[in-house]
Each structure stands twice: as structure tokens, then as C-alpha cells.
Amino acid sequence: MKYQAIIFDLDGVIVHTDEFHYQAWKKIADKIGAPFDRNINERLRGVSRMASLEIILSGTDASFSETEKQMLAEEKNNEYRNLLATMSPKDVPKETLKTLSALKEMGVKLAIGSSSKNARYILERVGLIGEFDAISDGNNITHSKPDPEVFLKAAQFLCLESAACVVVEDAEAGIDAAVAGGFASAGIGSAAKYPKCTYSLNVLSDLIGFIR
């Protein structure tokens, strides 16, 4: 096979929690009087929590101390986790389950590379925590995408070089991170049309043909 491992972003690739992020950030933005809509929300895709907060705060003239920013970020995360608590295995698309099963049967290693600090919690909620050979997330990195650190750590956990792995992403920032780390990349959703992608996926199972 061309590749020994697949490193998946989580939100928007394995499961879809975008709406939860939107609702939680919308509540914070309304509280502080910052403009926020779905177009602004798109700018937060693949971006860390604190960087997302800075994008939202840039829309208001108000100033916030670092302590206040941390409190706002924590409030957003608490609201988001309350929404995540409603998730269950039924929230995993059948396409995702089919693809993961086929890849495992082929002997391909599977990993998560997500900037989210809630990645393990989400995987536990939807019953997928045991499906991955490695999990690299916001708890083990200091730089968020488009920095490649989260993917480099995932490859390190798998004991593989970047060239042996494909990163699957739905955000341009994630594709940029993959390219910066020397990974092949597969874009899905809005990232499928990004020129920097090595591969473009219509559905997740398209991966199977690309790694053989």
C-alpha cells in the first residue's frame, strides 16, 4: 500500500459537532456584543479555542484582560460540553463506520489529529475511543493548526514518518498543517476543493482507493 496510516481530524470528518460549536460561540458572542454569524463561524474551522475567541473579539471595540478571555473560553467550552453530552453512537455516520472497518481490515493504522481538547470525550460519547491506534489532540500540543504539531505528534505516537501517513481534513487550515508537516492530505467537505489537497474525497470511503 502507498500509506501505512490515516490521521483523521475529528470534527467534520469522523463526527459532526459544528452546530454545537456554533451554538456555544454564538452564546458567548451575544453576551459580549460581538457580531457572530455562520460566515464568521466558518473562519473558526480547524482553529484552536483561544484563536477562535480572538477572531470573535476582533469584531468588537471592547478590551478584555487575559483572565477575562480565559473565563470566556472556559464558558464556551462548558456550554459546548453540555451539548456534547447529548451525543451517542447513533451520531456516527454509517459511512464513517464502514470506512474505519475497511481500513482496519487492510491493516492500516488509524489515528486522530484534532486541535480539540474534547477529542477523547467525544470519542467516548460516540463509542469510537477504542477504534484508533493513537490520539493526538489539544491536550498534547502547544501550537494549533495550521501548525503541523498535532499531526506530527500523531505520527510519532504511531512510530511512523510523515510520508507514511495521509491526513484527512475538512478545513483549509488543517490541509495547510498537513502540507507543512510533510504529509499527504485528503480534503473532504469544503476542503475537497482546496488546491493544496493531495486527494479530494466525495465521501470518506474514497480513501480506500487512494491508499492501495
Digit-coded pLDDT (tens) for 163-189: 999 999 999 999 999 999 999 999 999
Average pLDDT over residues 127-149: 95
pLDDT of residue 45: 80
Percent of the chain scored above 70 by pLDDT? 100
Average pLDDT over residues 40-51: 87
12 burial level (CB within 10 Å; 0-12, 13-18, 19+): buried
pLDDT of residue 1: 86
pLDDT of residue 212: 82
Query: Of 11, 137, 147, 170, which residue is the catalytic one?
Result: 11
pLDDT of residue 76: 97
- Residue whose cell numbers read 456554533: 22
Catalytic-residue membership of 9? yes
Question: Does the pLDDT of residue 160 top 90, yes or no?
Answer: yes
Q: How do the domains of the chain map onto residue ranges?
A: 5-15+93-211, 18-84
Question: Does the pLDDT of residue 46 top 80, yes or no?
Answer: no
Contacts of 74 (CB under 8 A, 6+ apart): none
Average pLDDT over residues 44-53: 86
Question: Does the pLDDT of residue 207 top 80, yes or no?
Answer: yes
Write the class of the CATH domain 5-15+93-211: alpha beta
pLDDT of residue 48: 81
- Between CA 151 and CA 5, with CA 42 as vertex, the angle to 5 degrees is 20
Confidence grade of residue 18 (pLDDT, cut at 50, 70, 90):
confident
Looking at every residue in the chain, the average pLDDT score rounds to: 95
pLDDT of residue 65: 97
Instruction: Tell me the three state secondary structure of residue 1.
Output: coil
Rounded Cα gap, residues 77 and 86, in angstroms? 15
- Residue whose cell numbers read 460566515: 39
- Between CA 122 and CA 79, with CA 34 as vertex, the angle to 5 degrees is 25
Cβ atoms within 10 Å, residue 79: 18
pLDDT of residue 201: 98
pLDDT of residue 93: 96
Q: Which of 12-26, 39-53, 125-139, 170-184 has the lowest mean pLDDT?
A: 39-53
Rg of the chain in Å (alpha carbons) = 17
Q: What's the CATH number of domain 18-84, 1.10.150.240, 3.50.50.60, 3.40.140.10, 1.10.260.40?
A: 1.10.150.240
Which residue from 30, 29, 174, 202 is spatially nearest to 99, judged by alpha carbons?
Answer: 202
Query: Of 9, 137, 170, 176, which residue is the catalytic one?
Result: 9
Give the pTM. 0.86
Instruction: Tell me the three state secondary structure of residue 71.
Output: helix
pLDDT of residue 144: 87
Q: Which of 111-115, 141-145, 151-155, 196-200 has the lowest mean pLDDT?
A: 141-145
Pairing of strands 184-188, 165-169: parallel
